[in-house]
């Protein structure tokens, strides 16, 4: 059940506020990425690879909150564009390692600065105690939602997790 849209967000329920923050954050990030011709998913892939180094597909997908097929499509497009490279994993015969292309390192550093700017702007005006309270509250909400999801049949859980 969707909450009715309030006249003012000051009167909104927590679910509506969480959705509004997510929607606005996606809009801000997407608008900042437009000059780079990157999707939000591609942006996160580049940041994860910059910060953590080469990865196989499944762990990379988990790090950026994508399912494997979506991550595979994003990586393929980025390889074709010359932003990423793939090579066989020497430790595992069937696994492919994904890493930043050397020519994309400066772009990845620029995107990291952009991400830091967005993170700073997101919490502007909130002191560390307010941030800690919000973090605790949001984590509690996620735990509550995970518990509600666990009560559903597994087929419905898988469908909900994919969206």
pLDDT, tens digit, 9 for 90 and up, residues 87-124? 998 887 788 999 999 999 999 999 999 999 999 999 99
Which helix (H) or strand (E) segment is 98 a member of? strand 96-100
Q: What's the mean pLDDT in 32-58?
A: 95
- Per-residue model confidence (pLDDT) at position 160: 59
CATH number of 11-122: 1.10.10.10
The whole-model pTM stands at 0.79
Residue extents of the structural domains in the chain: 11-122, 126-163
Least confident of 6-10, 11-15, 127-131: 6-10
CA distances from 90 to 14, 16, 95, 97, 160 (A): 48, 47, 8, 9, 36
Burial 3-13 (b: 16+ CB within 10 A, else e): eeeeeeeeebe
């Amino acid at each position: 059940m969707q909450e009715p849209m309030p006249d003012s967000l000051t009167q909104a329920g927590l679910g509506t506020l969480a959705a509004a923050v997510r929607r606005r954050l996606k809009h801000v990030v997407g608008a900042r990425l437009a000059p780079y011709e990157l999707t939000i998913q591609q942006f996160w892939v580049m940041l994860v690879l910059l910060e953590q180094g080469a990865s196989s597909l499944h762990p990379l997908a988990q790090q950026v909150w994508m399912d494997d097929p979506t991550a595979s499509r994003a990586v393929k497009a980025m390889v074709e564009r010359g932003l990423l490279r793939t090579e066989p994993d020497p430790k595992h015969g069937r696994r492919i390692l994904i890493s930043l292309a050397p020519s994309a390192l400066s772009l990845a550093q620029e995107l990291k600065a952009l991400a830091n700017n967005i993170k700073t702007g997101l919490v502007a005006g909130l002191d560390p105690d307010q941030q800690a309270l919000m973090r605790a509250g949001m984590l509690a909400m996620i735990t509550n939602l995970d518990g509600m999801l666990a009560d559903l049949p597994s087929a419905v859980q898988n469908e909900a997790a994919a969206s």
